[in-house]
Amino acid sequence: MNKYELAVVLRPDLDEEAKAAEMQKVQDLITRFGGVIEKIDDWGKKRLAYEIQKVNEGFYSFVTFDAEGTVPAEIESRMRIMESALRYLIIRK
């Protein structure tokens, strides 16, 4: 098992319930493929360094998890089609 960190930037026009639902989807993706979530760090709404899809702000969240080496590719393939995610990045710690 390797340690990974997933950084997600969600659209700023989401309300609290929608944001929580989207983060639950992300957590479900990790656990569906055998990952174990260690910590979720929610930074809230921050200004982006540059404009993405005509948006200047986003909700930042960081998820630290343990998983096998094939899991990040599976998560990225599912995250790619999430409309509420502006950007995402998975790194190995």
Residue type at 90 in one-letter notation: I
Distance CA 43, CA 27 (A): 16
Residue type at 48 in one-letter notation: L
Mean pLDDT value across residues 6-30 = 94
Q: What pLDDT was estimated at residue 33?
A: 92
CA distances from 16 to 13, 23, 45, 66, 91 (A): 10, 11, 11, 27, 27
Read off the pLDDT of residues 36-62 as tens digits, 9 standing for 90 and up: 999 999 999 999 999 998 999 999 999
Retrieve residue 57's tokens.
Answer: 């702000």
pLDDT of 90 strictly over 90: yes
Q: What pLDDT was estimated at residue 7?
A: 96
Helices (H), ranges, the chain = 16-32, 71-79
Read off the pLDDT of residues 63-78 as tens digits, 9 standing for 90 and up: 999 999 999 999 999 9
pTM, full prediction: 0.89
Task: Give the domain 2-92 fold.
Answer: Alpha-Beta Plaits (3.30.70)
Mean pLDDT value across residues 6-27 = 94
Strand ranges for the chain from DSSP E:
2-10, 36-52, 55-67, 85-92
